[in-house]
Amino acid sequence: MIIDLRSDTVTRPTPAMMQAMMQASVGDDVFGEDPTVNALEEKCASLLGMEAAVFCPSGTMTNQIGIKVLTQPYEEVICYRGAHIYKYEGGGLAGNSLVSVRLLAGDRGRLSVDEMAAQVNADDQHYPRTSVIALENTVVREAGSYYTLRDIAPISAFARSKKLLLHLDGARLFNALAVTGDHARDYGKYFDTISICLSKGLGAPVGSVLACKKEFAKKARRMRKAWGGAWRQAGFLAAAGLYALEHHVARLTEDHQRAKKLADCLRQQPYVASVMPTDTNIVIFELIPSVTPAAFLEKINAHGIKALVFSATEIRLVTHLDFDDAMLQKTVDVFSTLRF
């Protein structure tokens, strides 16, 4: 038994999801003729309280398209200094949108109006024009910390007052909703573009969706085309996404409970220096200086457990659909007996 905790992207379609995929009606999506893609896009738009949605191959692409449609070259995007759009998308913002970033520390990655107030550039030729605030929910670099809509409402009001547009990287938005109890449909009114991943906690093999205002959808499709992401009979994948939205949202709380149990176990281990608060499905912990991430990985790999080296001192674990209670028990047993 291999226990893969590197990411929630590693899941395989369940037999029922696979069946839904195989039975999908498909057509050529570049002609707008794939009924299953169209159904997924309509569902996501209404689910998120947005006018339109565009199905894309990856979360990186939906984020990059989101920023592209909201900005002009030479402008500036305000985001958390560990934001996925900045730190983990291969420099895409610079290359694709020709924008600079204003990086903020945040409170465990969550920005506030107080922190942003002094970061919007004055209208002066020396400064890049600040045009977008980008939030991430949950925040992957901060072990899945989350915003509530109460946190977001004032940020959105601030953005509107400064004529800034607002993007949400909601790769794990449904994990946030599982904790906050907020409704997805209330998100649309606060943001201009929202990206969600179907291939993370929701367990689809591939796919992300950019939900947006109608005015941005046409350009989003143009950019998806320009970047080679316009696809054909993508309905087979859209069917997995529809299935995931229907059947895999309610169970996310199980992932959160298992992540908490992993974190609790790690806090008791002599080789662990600290564990970030574990609010959703991501556990990030720091090893003591005498134990390198490579040494830790070597020991757990020998027991069939995989994890991700997240920095020179940190390890990341992410719980998901293919990590069950038996695997949790085995992982806890292994972590409890490791000695360095």
Ligand X SMILES: *Cc1c(COP(=O)(O)O)cnc(C)c1O
Contacts to ligand X by CB under 6 A:
58-60, 63, 84, 136, 140, 169, 171, 197, 199-200, 208
Asked if residues 280 and 146 have their Cβ atoms less than 8 Å apart, the reply is yes
Find the shortest distance in angstroms from Cβ 45 to ligand X. 20
Closest approach, Cβ 207 to ligand X, in A, equals 8
Minimum Å distance from CB 209 to ligand X? 11
Q: In the complex with ligand X, which residue's Cβ is closer, 200 or 261?
A: 200
Our CB check for ligand X shows the closer of 59 and 293 to be 59
| Residue 300, CA distances (Å) to 64, 257, 269, 314, 316 in order | 35, 22, 14, 15, 13
Residues 6 or more apart whose CB falls under 8 angstroms from that of 112 comprise 106, 151, 154, 155
Shortest CB 295 distance to ligand X, Å: 26
Residue nearest to ligand X (CB): 59
CB of 337 to ligand X, least distance (A): 31
Nearest approach, Cβ of residue 58 and ligand X (Å): 4
Which residue's CB is nearer to ligand X, number 50 or number 265?
A: 50
User: Which amino acid is it at 35?
Assistant: P
Q: Which is nearer to ligand X, 60 or 130 (CB)?
A: 60
The kind and range of the H/E element at 244 are helix 235-247
Torsion-angle region of 90 (φ positive above 0: left; ψ -120 to 50: alpha; else: beta): left
- Nearest alpha carbon to residue 308 among 172, 170, 179, 143: 143
Residues 10, 188: Cα–Cα separation, whole Å: 29
Tokens of 276: 């970030």
Cβ proximity to ligand X, 60 vs 269, nearer residue? 60
Cα diameter, the chain: 61
CB of 120 or CB of 317, closer to ligand X: 317
